[in-house]
Amino acid sequence: MTTRSQIIQRKKIYEIPPTRKLFLGIVELLIALVILLGFVINTEPNTLTRFVMTPGGIDIGKMPDWVIPTLPTLIILTIIPALIGLYQLVRGFGRATNGMVGLSALCLIFGFITWQASGTSVNLAGMFTSAVLLAVPITLGAFSGVLSERAGVVNIAIEGMMLMGSMIGSLIGSITNNAWIGLVGAILSGLLLSLIHAILSIKYKINQVISGTVINIFSAGMTAFISQKYLQTNQALNSPPLFTRIPIPGLAKIPLLGPMFFNTNVFVYLTFILLIVIQVALFSTRWGLRLRSVGEHPRAADTLGIDVIRTRYEAVLLSGIVAGLAGGFFTLGSVGRFNEGMTAGKGFIGLAAMIFGNWRPLGAMGAGLIFGFADAIGSKLLLLGSAIPPQIMAMAPYLITMIVLAGFIGKGDAPAADGEPYEKE
């Protein structure tokens, strides 16, 4: 139906629907209440919270610790969302509504950390640094999704490609005792799986979700089999060399940011390089224009002489390369060995980050960092010995993902032909 989309009318109601206005106002007040009842009341006066601002094991870019009085800080953190909530109920923030909800959530998170660490110290910089590292596979997964879906092919096989990539990366890295060759192996395995996905979904026009699911199941089974049969029995096959930290001269000395972004491993640098490359390639080059046209309106592209099938193959194969790279991160950039199911749904969270980021590389990276941060808080508080059961903490990032997906994102600007196989007339 073309007629429905061709509405000439462009008048918008900027007003947020009244129920949503009310609901978000109440949510913000509840946040204030949680901080008040949960944290402020349980805090002894005159306690201090110490934030360590240099991650452990880092010598360059040191920064003095940050010490704050716990109670006053928490009280301020109660007042901010309370005011926001009241204003939201009375007047409303219009277009800034979502931002204000985000600010309130930030108060909640910061309040929680401050309260947990009252009378002791928490390594904030370490948390940020691990957030960046945890964001790497999510962001790369999101990039992988952007490449494929911008050309109109849904790729939910990213999880499987990552898992296979991490296993192959470990195996080949161990055999050759060279992390770089291991990484090439990881990338090739992602490429191979994406070729299968491309053939099934582009050539044979199998439902793309089913094709992706099949690859995920295959990868889970295959990696488990090889792991149990060979990697567990012969540890020499499962001990690849790790990529070490490479400080960037000069930049690494910046306090806080230096250790986070400029004194870290090659995967973080590659993620930033890919961010720029993909952003420029998609939106400023002929290749990108054609790729996006195929994802939006393949028939129009076809009538202008663009090879839809070939373009989609290119996109899906590139998507596989990036997913394989993301897989390599787990074994070669983080853990140093392969464990069964070690990607733990990061590929799917990457897809969520892609949607959250509106199918744009920059947005995808922002979303990836948010999810990575959620992950980092979870594991940090686990170490602090929080009163909250560790299982609940481990659930938090996924819970956040669900809330974010359900509450804040509609359909977004998904490519119009996303998921539709192209058939010539």
Partner 1 sequence: MAPILELKGITKQFPGVLANDHIDLALNKGEILALLGENGAGKSTLMNILYGLYQPDEGDIFINDEKIVINSPTDAIDAGIGMVHQHFMLIPVFTVVENIMLGQESVKFGDFLDRADASKKILEISEQFNLPVNPNDLVRDIPVGIQQKVEIIKLLYRQAEILIFDEPTAVLTPQEADELFDIMRSLAKQGKSIIFITHKLREVLEVADRIMVIRLGAVVGETTPQQADKNSLAAMMVGREVSLVVEKETKVPGDIVVSIRDLLVTDKYQNIVVDHVSLDVRAGEVVGIAGVQGNGQTELVEAITGLRKSAGGQVTLMGRDITHATPRKITELGSAHVPEDRQMDGLVLPFPTAENLVLCTYYKKPFSKGAVLQYQIILEHAKRLIHDFDIRTPSALTPVSNLSGGNQQKVIIARELSRPIQFLMASQPTRGLDVGSIEYIHKRLVQKRDEGCAVLLVSPELDEVMELSDRIAVMFRGKILAIVDSQLVTKEQVGLMMTGEIPEEGFHANENRVVERTF
Residues in touch with partner 1 (CB under 8 A): 1-13, 15, 17, 284-287, 289-290, 292-293, 296-297, 299-306, 410, 413, 416, 424-425
CB of 423 to partner 1, least distance (A): 12
CB of 361 to partner 1, least distance (A): 17
Question: Encoding tokens for residue 344?
Answer: 């733990």
The conformation of residue 337, written as its DSSP 8-state character, comes to: S
Q: In terms of CB distance, is 6 or 46 closer to partner 1?
A: 6
User: Rounded distance, CA 48 to CA 54, Å?
Assistant: 18
CB of 417 to partner 1, least distance (A): 10
Pairing of strands 66-69, 48-52: antiparallel
Report the candidate in 415, 376, 410 with the shortest Cα–Cα distance to residue 129. 376
| Three-class DSSP category at 205 | coil
Q: In terms of CB distance, is 103 or 306 closer to partner 1?
A: 306
Q: Which amino acid is at 377?
A: I
- Residue 230 is inside which H or E element, if any? none
| Three-class DSSP category at 302 | helix
Report the candidate in 254, 316, 288 with the shortest Cα–Cα distance to residue 128. 254
Q: In terms of CB distance, is 59 or 307 closer to partner 1?
A: 307
CB of 139 to partner 1, least distance (A): 24
Q: Cβ neighbours of residue 336 under 8 Å, at least 6 residues apart?
A: 239, 240, 242
Q: In terms of CB distance, is 290 or 337 closer to partner 1?
A: 290
Question: Encoding tokens for residue 68?
Answer: 């704050």
Q: In terms of CB distance, is 36 or 417 closer to partner 1?
A: 417
User: Rounded distance, CA 263 to CA 254, Å?
Assistant: 10
Q: In terms of CB distance, is 16 or 132 closer to partner 1?
A: 16
User: Rounded distance, CA 232 to CA 153, Å?
Assistant: 36
User: Rounded distance, CA 181 to CA 407, Å?
Assistant: 43
CB of 293 to partner 1, least distance (A): 5
CB of 303 to partner 1, least distance (A): 5
CB of 123 to partner 1, least distance (A): 44
Q: In terms of CB distance, is 204 or 286 closer to partner 1?
A: 286
